[in-house]
Structure 1
Amino acid sequence: MTIQQMRYFLVVCRLQNITHAAAELHIAQSTLSQAMQTIEDETGLNLFLRAGRTIRISQDGQKLYQKVTALLREVDAFEDGVREMSCRHGKISLAIPQQQASFLIPRLLHTFQHEHPEIQLDIIEPYGVEAARFVQEEKVDLAVVNYDGSTLPDLQYQRIDSRPVKFIVWPGHPLADRPSISLAEAARGPLVLLSEEFYVTRLLMRTFAAARIEPNVAYYSPHLSTLYSLLRTHTAPSILFEQAVTALSDIVTIPFDTPLSLTSCIITKKSRQISKDQRLVMKFIRQQLLARQAMP
């Protein structure tokens, strides 16, 4: 007995009239009658008491009706669940930390959403290290970070481009005219840095430690906006991923004598299958980051 035949059977039982049931189902009466005969043949049960076109359900028919009703309820729940899963594939959750967010989010919400309105983007802006943990814990589908090379074993890192980390000051600062600066000079500070939940600060602290340099850090902030304010008010220099300050005016970026860089990458979880929609988002992000690499 097929699912379709079961659905036909329920309608016949409810209306107890082949003509009316066929009309409701939009099929020929002969097709419906043949379906009911097939069910009786397959089950070996006498399901109906017939009197012309009017029929009554037998006791066996009533028992089968109850079983089919319960079974189809389960089938409907299963189909609803599959549809819900399919809908969720059209919703992509992303973690994009602050240093990438200002560049990527406008492009995702404007250009990508215009090209793919069927895909819903759910974007959060955690710290870089936190973004990787969110992928690991399956709280998001993927993350886009500037990371320091450290990896977690159950995550896949799709490297895209590398961009420099620079010493950031303002015009008129004593070091503003320098073509480059050493780590030791930058460390004399005082400096304002992002908190250690950011890969750029983890990279700096590891580099300072390897060179046995103790940096003079006046303040750690979890917010780029705070560092921007401190730079604008000439409070203290900072050290940041270059792209984090491209939108700021009256800022001077100075490279280090020994170059430092962060690698942009897309993080996914190894054990999770990547859907077609996720691949579209990842392809778009990769294209945008590579296009940015070509910018002056």
Structure 2
Amino acid sequence: MEFCQLQTFRLVAAHRSFSQAAAELHLTQPAVTQQIKHLESEIGELLLDRSGRNLGLTPAGEVFLTYTHQILNLTEQAVATVRQYSDQKGKLSIAAGTTNTIFRLPLILQNYRNEHPQIEIQIRNGDSKLTTQLVRDNAVDLGFVTTINTKDSSFQVLPIFKDSIWLIGPKNYPSRVTIPDLEKESLILFRNGSGFRIFLEENFHRNHFIPKISMEMESIEAIIRLVQTGFGLSFLPEIAVQEELVGERVQKVEVKEWTSMYRQTYLIYRKDKYLAWPVKAFLHQVCG
């Protein structure tokens, strides 16, 4: 099995086309077709379904594509790591959710870049599920997540931040309410099914609270803006609303007999991953 065959298979699978893959690889279509046939012959399974009008993956092809991505990503990472030692340059790739990407990473990365200006930094934005998968596939070096699978032992998990979750309302809103009062108010929350929404719903149940949800948003900035203009209240991480509170653009609201809410952020990476020096330097800065 040759490395170029894996690269060709990945492109054919991505385009669902021999001709488009050939054009990107600057090869003839027969050459691409021949590479795939040799790969299938060596594996002993058909990887591509050629029976319909459109090219597709067989079940074996779906499985093999997952490993192909991992092999190629790991190979690219190995080459980049080796090259770092010759020129002391390198790359750091991170995935994180919206809150950390907007409110935490800019300052952290600014300090990191001041110390290591030669390092290329790449950021991917995604929820905890996507971030975990990117780390698992070696598509990124490190991930900031708020939910972890305690049964998965393949990751190194480092707790690094703990956020208070506050109820906020527009300025001049009462600073203290009861749970029955809050049930009459309109809430603006993240979309149903998101990690933060699931976290809130668990806490709503714990506090015997039935919310009246008027709006669902994807953007934390949109939620803050809607709260400011009086469209409703929202539960948000402390770090996301600090500037608005200092500027008196929103009001922190205490709920009587409400169990305090905290959300932990973890930094994860694969236990079997070789940590190049840019990654080690970042871990030292963040974790000490």
TM-score class, shorter-chain normalisation, is: 0.5 to 0.7
> Paired residue for 1:164?
164
The 1-side partners of 2:148 and 2:254 are apart by 20
> Paired residue for 2:250?
251
> Paired residue for 1:102?
102
The 2-side partners of 1:269 and 1:208 are apart by 34
> Paired residue for 1:203?
199
TM norm structure 2 = 0.61
Structure 1 residues 277 and 114: CA distance shift in structure 2, 3 A: same
Identical-residue share of aligned pairs (%): 18
Q: Is the 8 A contact 2:170 2:229 kept in 1?
A: no
The 2-side partners of 1:215 and 1:196 are apart by 13
> Paired residue for 2:43?
none
For residue 272 of structure 1, give the secondary structure of its aligned residue in structure 2: coil
Question: What stretches of structure 1 of length at least 5 have no aligned partner?
Answer: 1-79, 288-296
Structure 1 residues 164 and 109: CA distance shift in structure 2, 3 A: closer
> Paired residue for 1:215?
211
Structure 1 residues 151 and 99: CA distance shift in structure 2, 3 A: farther
The 2-side partners of 1:118 and 1:242 are apart by 33
Q: Is the 8 A contact 1:149 1:263 kept in 2?
A: no
Q: Is the 8 A contact 1:182 1:258 kept in 2?
A: no
Q: Structure 1, residues 32-62: CA drift from partner, whole Å, max 9, x if none?
A: xxxxxxxxxxxxxxxxxxxxxxxxxxxxxxx
The 2-side partners of 1:189 and 1:246 are apart by 23
Q: Is the 8 A contact 1:190 1:218 kept in 2?
A: yes
The 2-side partners of 1:265 and 1:255 are apart by 27
The 2-side partners of 1:97 and 1:134 are apart by 12
For residue 121 of structure 1, give the secondary structure of its aligned residue in structure 2: strand
RMSD over aligned CA atoms reads 2.9
Structure 2 matches for 1:9-20, cutoff 5 A? none
**Shift in Å, 1:87:** 3.6
Structure 1 residues 81 and 190: CA distance shift in structure 2, 3 A: closer
Q: Is the 8 A contact 1:148 1:262 kept in 2?
A: no
Structure 2 matches for 1:253-292, cutoff 5 A? 253-256=252-255, 257-286=258-287
The 1-side partners of 2:120 and 2:281 are apart by 12
TM norm structure 1 = 0.59
> Paired residue for 2:117?
117
Q: Is the 8 A contact 2:169 2:251 kept in 1?
A: yes
Matched residue type, 2:275: I
Question: How many equivalent pairs are there?
Answer: 203
For residue 140 of structure 1, give the secondary structure of its aligned residue in structure 2: coil
Q: Structure 1, residues 52-102: CA drift from partner, whole Å, max 9, x if none?
A: xxxxxxxxxxxxxxxxxxxxxxxxxxxx99754424782111012221123
> Paired residue for 1:86?
82
Q: Is the 8 A contact 1:95 1:142 kept in 2?
A: yes
The 2-side partners of 1:126 and 1:93 are apart by 13
Quick check: which has more Rg, 1 or 2? Answer: 1
